[in-house]
């Protein structure tokens, strides 16, 4: 269980988050959605302790502020929105950094499997800096995956915090990441992620937090939160949410007024 | 078996780095022996070995040359070269920039200011002080200057337990300018002879190596060299950025603090005994990164070995090229280092930035 | 090279032993003749050895030794304050004749412990110091007679200079400019060899109020109002051109520049405080005498 208790963040004197209280469950994918500037990423960064905030974040019943870095790292992996890397490390070396505090017997094999999971298995010896943006993003994801490879350890669920993990990926790899998140949750882990794409959100999410102007305007099961009315209010444009009869999958389609 | 296969398959350059390490160890051993056996006086290591094996006592003069001149000089060279290279590697890891240099955090500027103060104003020092430290006043002042400026910077850049590396860099530039100005004032009032001393000090030399100096500064450098490898994991993580390093479980605040203290100790002591010796700290880690990758678990050790070897070689050149006079070693390292540095810059143009 | 040395170790060792023996015998045989392999560290040291007619005993010199011409042919052991112990020992000197500022201290310490005979000449600022330097050197070289002769000659030169100084009708104000880099006047204050030389020649150091060579502000230079500007023409590091001195905005306002009274002399000759000091003082005295207007004194 992830509990966010009255989180407030100000940048300078400007409040950006006005007291967010919400919960996410292990075994579920929780997606934070909302228009640009609504505070999605700030909220995720507060949850992972990357911005100064007031309030409290509890992970599996423990106050995150009281945990040591290595205790936190054993509990959760965090993928930031953008990752820069200094020095020419190879792909394998970057992924292995995710195992810094792990006590895994077979690290090398784990690295190979994580690279396979993000469809990068042939790239282990390549220099990270020579890859395309999308490939780099996948390598970073593999680094985070390898850190919490087993979703549940000794009955305790582990967590993935992913900030726009599909931002620079092509459609096939976007879907692959959605599958990864769903698989991690299915095996008992918790996933909290920021997504822009409402269709991917509808596909990935068990639970949705809808943000608007620094406030949580809706949280709950995906189908309950992603309604036509709620989305139109948040995004300021008409949207139709539904299920494709033929495939059974969810969609969110913008109703573009004035575009022929 | 599986692990081994997998690791060679997956671009782990550890094996390569280990081979390099062995090669560097051999190179250092060889250079060390060469440094002991080579010198103007014609006393060779072989005569020492012969004297030891044959049980005969060496001539006093020869023993003095080996034991009082070459050995402390060789050991000082090893420690200073290793310290400069390792301090450079640590600093570059900390600042995530391959061109960072201990000079950036003000160690260099502070140590330089300390030395200049001692050279120019040393005559004004109270008698008890000059009596207590004797002619070690300049090294001592350099060491204190380096440490003082590092501690000031560290305090400036640390707020509520968090050290901002960027703030430290900027403050380091400011403090460097201030120390430069103070040095300038002292240079301005310095007389001809003091100016010459300053020039020679700034160019560095192992010429003044002696047991008392080595015993004073050696343990500080050795301590820093022993501490540095423990920073390897932390510096590797920092390559991802501070936030990501924290998220993979590293106590980055501690890593940063230890890294800064290590650099201050290594550089301060090295500069104190040997003066300003440039380029080792930048060139050695960079070449090793090109050869075996940036993994600090190997980089720090290899940099120490390579730095020591290079400085011994530079010293061999410095003391024999214009014999019976001696060239300041900084001239040798700069003459060798600057072209390499330019070559690095030329190569960089084509590569991804940082 | 090491391999070769390794192979020939036995031979070298035996040779060395034999040589040492021979050397010891030779030294014993000619004990009265004194050391034959002398290294001079400091300009006046080499100069005195040559003045004693013993230039052939020198095997090396430092960078500051530049007189007489012949000394320049000797191997250079580097800057007098940065001597390398092993390189010096390797030359197998039986005497190192050093000026007071030879160093670094570590080198001096090791040379002493290596048993290399070393004579450190005192810092010289007065005629008595010059004589002491010569006396020490002659003694170290085992040359009582040549020493006495040189002492007498030097003494008479110095006496002549002293007489000339005393007979000067007035005491011109002299400013010694060590260098003029970037328009910065580096002048000699009190307690410098330049000030001592000015006094020997019968002048007054125009720059007072500080010790050693220090930069002078333009106003202080004008206020010093020297009648003569003294500079080095060569030797030392910095030769200062007369034109440069006269064109300097502050110096141009001094009486010296207005009457174009610039005296330039060789650095070692002027400030070395060696055997030529009497002659140098006399030469400077002559220059000063020319400055004094006929009506004065």
**Complete DSSP assignment for A187-221:** TT-EEEEE-S-HHHHHHH-SEEEEEETTEEEEEEE
Average pLDDT over residues B96-110: 77
Q: Do A90 and B293 touch (CB under 8 A)?
A: yes
What pLDDT band is residue B323 in, cutting at 50, 70 and 90? confident
What pLDDT band is residue A162 in, cutting at 50, 70 and 90? very high
Burial label for C220, CB within 10 Å (0-12, 13-18, 19+), is: middle
Q: What is the pLDDT of residue C237?
A: 52
B315 torsion bin: left (phi>0), alpha (psi -120 to 50), beta (else): alpha
Q: How far is CA B80 from CA A114, B11, B73, B130, C125, in A?
A: 43, 33, 10, 26, 41
CB A211 within 8 A of CB A225: no
More confident residue, C3 or B311: B311
- Does any CB of chain A come closer than 8 Å to the CB of residue B44? no
Q: In this structure, how many other beta carbons lie within 10 angstroms of the beta carbon of residue C184?
A: 14
What does the pLDDT look like over B257-312, one tens digit per residue? 899 889 888 988 898 888 888 889 988 998 899 888 999 999 999 999 999 999 99
Looking at every residue in chain B, the average pLDDT score rounds to 84
pLDDT at C121 over 90: yes
What pLDDT band is residue B2 in, cutting at 50, 70 and 90? very low
* Rounded Cα–Cα distance for residues B150 and B148 (Å): 5
- Does any CB of chain B come closer than 8 Å to the CB of residue A96? yes
**CATH assignment, C22-156:** 3.40.50.1980
Looking at every residue in chain A, the average pLDDT score rounds to 91
Average pLDDT over residues C43-68: 92
pLDDT at C29 over 70: no
Which stretches of C132-244 are assigned E, i.e. beta strand? Answer: 173-179, 185-188, 204-205, 213-216, 228-232
Q: What is the pLDDT of residue C174?
A: 96
Bridge-based pairing state of the strands A14-24 and A2-11: antiparallel
3-state secondary structure of C275: coil
Q: Do B42 and C114 touch (CB under 8 A)?
A: no
**Could you give the angle at the alpha carbon of B107 between the alpha carbons of B102 and B113, nearest 5°?**
135
More confident residue, A137 or B326: A137
pLDDT at C31 over 60: no
* Rounded Cα–Cα distance for residues C101 and C103 (Å): 6
Q: Is residue B220 part of a domain?
A: yes
Q: Is residue B274 part of a domain?
A: yes
- Does any CB of chain B come closer than 8 Å to the CB of residue C86? yes
pLDDT at A181 over 90: yes
**From the CA of B174, how many Å to the nearest CA of chain C?**
27
Listed by start position, the domains of chain C span: 22-156, 169-291
Burial label for C232, CB within 10 Å (0-12, 13-18, 19+), is: buried
Q: What is the pLDDT of residue C7?
A: 38
Q: Do B248 and A147 touch (CB under 8 A)?
A: yes
**From the CA of A104, how many Å to the nearest CA of chain B?**
12
What does the pLDDT look like over C147-173, one tens digit per residue? 999 999 999 999 999 999 999 999 999
Q: What percent of chain C has pLDDT over 70?
A: 86
* Rounded Cα–Cα distance for residues B245 and A69 (Å): 9
pLDDT at C16 over 70: no
3-state secondary structure of C98: strand
- Domain total of chain B: 1
The ipTM estimated for the assembled molecules is 0.93
What pLDDT band is residue B21 in, cutting at 50, 70 and 90? very high
Q: What is the pLDDT of residue A86?
A: 87
- Does any CB of chain B come closer than 8 Å to the CB of residue A130? yes
**From the CA of C88, how many Å to the nearest CA of chain B?**
7
What does the pLDDT look like over B166-198, one tens digit per residue? 888 888 888 888 888 888 888 877 777 777 778
pTM for this predicted structure: 0.84
Bond before C104 cis per omega within 30 degrees: yes
Q: Where do we find the tokens 């060239």?
A: B327
> What are the chain B neighbours of A122 within 8 Å (beta carbons)?
none
- Does any CB of chain B come closer than 8 Å to the CB of residue A124? yes
What pLDDT band is residue B12 in, cutting at 50, 70 and 90? low
Q: Do A92 and B294 touch (CB under 8 A)?
A: no
Q: What is the pLDDT of residue C136?
A: 94
CB B47 within 8 A of CB C9: yes
pLDDT at A229 over 50: yes
CB B136 within 8 A of CB B114: no
Nearest to B323 among C13, C82, C87 (CB): C87
Average pLDDT over residues A226-255: 82
Q: What is the pLDDT of residue C21?
A: 43
> What are the chain A neighbours of B98 within 8 Å (beta carbons)?
86-87
CB B76 within 8 A of CB B206: yes
Selected residue of B191, B201, B320 to mutate for chain C interface (largest C Cβ count, 10 A): B191
CB C130 within 8 A of CB C137: no
Considering Cα of C97, then C103, then C108, then C111, what sign does the dihedral take? Answer: negative
What chain A holds in terms of domains, given with CATH numbers, is 2-82+150-254 (3.40.50.300)
Which stretches of chain B are assigned E, i.e. beta strand? Answer: 158-159, 162-163
Chains B and C touch (3+ CB pairs under 8 A): yes
Q: Which residue of chain B comes nearest to A114, CA vs CA?
A: B10
> What are the chain B neighbours of A115 within 8 Å (beta carbons)?
10
Task: Give the DSSP letter string of C106-143.
Answer: HHHHHHHHTT--EEEPPP--SHHHHHHHHHHHHHHTT-
Q: What is the pLDDT of residue B309?
A: 97
Domain of B117: which CATH number? Answer: 1.10.3470.10
Identify the chains in contact with B, defined as 3+ C-beta pairs within 8 A. A, C
The continuous run of DSSP H or E covering A240 comes out as: strand A239-243
**Could you give the angle at the alpha carbon of C104 between the alpha carbons of C100 and C108, nearest 5°?**
70
pLDDT at B116 over 70: yes
- Quote the radius of gyration of chain B (alpha carbons, Å): 21
**From the CA of B254, how many Å to the nearest CA of chain A?**
11
pLDDT at A248 over 80: no
CB C239 within 8 A of CB C233: yes
**From the CA of B46, how many Å to the nearest CA of chain C?**
6
Closest CA to B56 of A144, C9, A235: C9
CB A51 within 8 A of CB A42: yes
Burial code of C149-176, b = ≥16 C-beta within 10 A, e = fewer? ebbeebeebbeebbebbeebebbbbbbb
Q: What is the pLDDT of residue B28?
A: 97
Q: Do A109 and B6 touch (CB under 8 A)?
A: yes
Q: In this structure, how many other beta carbons lie within 10 angstroms of the beta carbon of residue B258?
A: 17
pLDDT at C113 over 90: no
Same fold across C22-156 and C169-291: yes
Q: Which domain does B225 fall in, by range?
A: 36-346
* Rounded Cα–Cα distance for residues C43 and C276 (Å): 12
What pLDDT band is residue B54 in, cutting at 50, 70 and 90? confident
Instruction: Spell out the residues 6+ positions from residue C114 whose beta carbon is closer than 8 angstroms to its own.
Output: B60, B61, B64, B65, B68, C85, C89
Q: What is the pLDDT of residue C211?
A: 83
**Could you give the angle at the alpha carbon of A47 between the alpha carbons of A45 and A50, nearest 5°?**
40
The continuous run of DSSP H or E covering A11 comes out as: strand A2-11
Q: What is the pLDDT of residue B1?
A: 34
- Which tokens go with B76? 């000082």
* Rounded Cα–Cα distance for residues A23 and A3 (Å): 5
Q: What is the pLDDT of residue B173?
A: 85
Average pLDDT over residues C215-235: 87
Q: Is residue B352 part of a domain?
A: no
What does the pLDDT look like over C251-281, one tens digit per residue? 999 999 999 999 999 988 999 999 999 999 9
Average pLDDT over residues B37-64: 76
Report domain C169-291's class.
Answer: alpha beta
Q: Could you tell me how far CA A37 lies from the centroid of its own chain? A: 17
What pLDDT band is residue B353 in, cutting at 50, 70 and 90? very low
Q: What is the pLDDT of residue C32?
A: 53
Helices marked H in A50-132 — which ranges?
Answer: 69-75, 91-96, 107-117
Q: Do A108 and B12 touch (CB under 8 A)?
A: yes
- Which tokens go with B34? 């060469």
What does the pLDDT look like over A112-133, one tens digit per residue? 999 999 999 999 999 999 999 9
Q: In chain B, what are the helix, strand and coil shares in percent, each to the nearest 5? A: 80, 0, 20
């Amino acid at each position: 269980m992830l509990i966010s208790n009255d989180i407030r963040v100000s940048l300078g004197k400007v409040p950006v988050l006005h007291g967010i209280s919400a919960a996410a469950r292990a075994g579920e994918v929780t997606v934070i959605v909302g228009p640009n500037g609504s505070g999605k990423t700030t909220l995720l960064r507060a949850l992972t302790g990357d911005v100064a905030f007031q309030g409290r974040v509890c992970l599996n019943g423990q106050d995150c502020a009281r945990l040591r870095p290595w205790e936190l790292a054993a509990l959760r992996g965090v993928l930031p929105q953008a990752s820069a890397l200094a020095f020419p490390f190879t792909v394998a070396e970057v992924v292995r950094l995710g195992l810094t505090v792990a006590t895994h017997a077979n690290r090398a094999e784990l690295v190979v499997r994580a690279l396979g999971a993000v469809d990068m298995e042939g790239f282990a010896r390549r220099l990270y800096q020579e890859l395309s943006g999308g490939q780099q993003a996948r390598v970073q994801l593999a680094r985070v995956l390898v850190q919490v490879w087993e979703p549940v350890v000794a009955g305790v669920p582990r967590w993935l915090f992913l900030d726009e993990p599909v931002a620079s990926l092509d459609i096939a790899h976007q879907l692959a990441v959605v599958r990864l998140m769903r698989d991690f949750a299915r095996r008992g882990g918790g996933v909290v992620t920021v997504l822009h794409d409402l269709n991917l959100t509808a596909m990935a999410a068990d639970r949705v937090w809808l943000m608007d102007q620094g406030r949580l305007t809706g949280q709950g099961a995906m189908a309950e939160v992603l309604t036509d009315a709620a989305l139109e209010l948040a995004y300021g444009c008409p949207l139709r949410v539904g299920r494709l009869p033929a495939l059974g999958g969810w969609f969110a389609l913008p109703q573009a007024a004035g575009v022929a | 078996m599986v692990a081994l296969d997998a690791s060679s398959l997956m671009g782990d350059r550890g094996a390569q780095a280990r081979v390099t390490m062995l090669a560097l160890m051999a190179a250092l051993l060889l250079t060390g022996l060469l440094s002991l056996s080579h010198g103007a006086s014609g006393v060779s290591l072989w005569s020492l070995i012969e004297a030891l094996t044959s049980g005969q006592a060496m001539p006093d003069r020869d023993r003095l040359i080996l034991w009082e001149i070459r050995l402390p000089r060789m050991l000082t060279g090893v420690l200073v070269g290793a310290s400069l290279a390792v301090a450079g590697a640590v600093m570059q890891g900390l600042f995530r920039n391959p061109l960072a240099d201990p000079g950036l955090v003000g160690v260099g500027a502070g140590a330089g200011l300390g030395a200049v103060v001692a050279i120019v104003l040393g005559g004004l020092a109270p008698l008890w002080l000059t009596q207590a430290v004797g002619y070690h006043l300049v090294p001592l002042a350099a060491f204190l200057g380096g440490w003082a400026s590092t501690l000031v910077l560290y305090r400036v850049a640390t707020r509520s337990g968090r050290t901002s590396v960027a703030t430290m860099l900027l403050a380091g530039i400011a403090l460097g300018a201030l120390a430069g100005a103070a040095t300038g004032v002292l240079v301005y009032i310095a007389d001809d002879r003091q100016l010459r001393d300053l020039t020679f000090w700034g160019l560095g030399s192992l010429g003044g190596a002696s047991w008392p100096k080595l015993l004073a500064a050696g343990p500080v450098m050795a301590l820093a060299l022993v501490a540095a490898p423990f920073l390897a994991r932390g510096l590797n993580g920092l390559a991802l950025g501070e936030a990501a390093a924290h998220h993979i479980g590293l106590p980055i605040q501690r890593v940063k603090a230890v890294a800064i203290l290590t650099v201050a100790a290594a550089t301060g002591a090295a500069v104190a005994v040997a003066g300003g010796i440039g380029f080792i700290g930048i060139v050695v880690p960079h070449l090793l990164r090109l050869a075996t990758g940036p993994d600090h678990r190997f980089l720090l050790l290899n940099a120490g070995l390579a730095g020591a070897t290079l400085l011994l070689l530079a010293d061999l050149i410095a003391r024999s090229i214009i014999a019976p006079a001696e060239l300041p070693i900084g001239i040798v390292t700069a003459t060798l280092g600057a072209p390499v540095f330019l070559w690095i810059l030329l190569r960089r143009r084509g590569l991804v930035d940082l | 090279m090491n391999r070769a040395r390794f192979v020939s170790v036995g031979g070298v060792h035996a040779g060395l032993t034999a040589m040492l023996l021979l050397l010891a015998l030779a030294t014993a045989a000619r004990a009265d003749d004194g050391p034959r392999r002398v290294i001079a560290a400091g300009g006046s040291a080499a100069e005195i050895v040559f003045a004693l007619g013993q230039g052939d005993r020198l095997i090396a010199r430092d960078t500051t030794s530049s007189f007489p011409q012949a000394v320049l042919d000797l191997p250079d052991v580097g800057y007098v304050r940065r001597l390398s112990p092993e390189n010096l020992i390797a030359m197998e000197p039986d005497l190192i004749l050093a000026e007071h500022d030879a160093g670094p201290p570590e080198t001096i310490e090791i040379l002493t412990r290596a048993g290399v005979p070393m004579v450190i000449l005192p810092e010289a600022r007065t005629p008595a110091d010059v004589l002491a330097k010569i006396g020490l050197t002659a003694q170290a070289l085992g040359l009582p007679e040549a020493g006495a002769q040189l002492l007498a000659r030097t003494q008479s030169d110095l006496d002549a200079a002293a007489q000339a100084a005393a007979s000067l009708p007035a005491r011109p104000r002299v400013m010694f400019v060590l260098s003029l880099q970037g328009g910065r006047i580096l002048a000699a204050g009190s307690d410098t060899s330049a000030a001592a030389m000015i006094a020997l020649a019968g002048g007054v150091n125009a720059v007072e109020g500080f010790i050693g060579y220090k930069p002078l502000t333009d106003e202080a230079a004008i206020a010093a109002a020297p009648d003569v500007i003294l500079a080095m023409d060569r030797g030392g590091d910095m030769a200062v051109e007369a034109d440069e001195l006269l064109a300097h905005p502050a110096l141009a306002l001094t009486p010296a520049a207005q009457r174009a009274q610039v005296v330039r002399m060789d650095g070692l000759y002027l400030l070395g405080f060696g055997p030529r000091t009497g002659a140098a003082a006399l030469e400077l005295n002559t220059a000063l005498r020319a400055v004094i207007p006929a009506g004065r004194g």
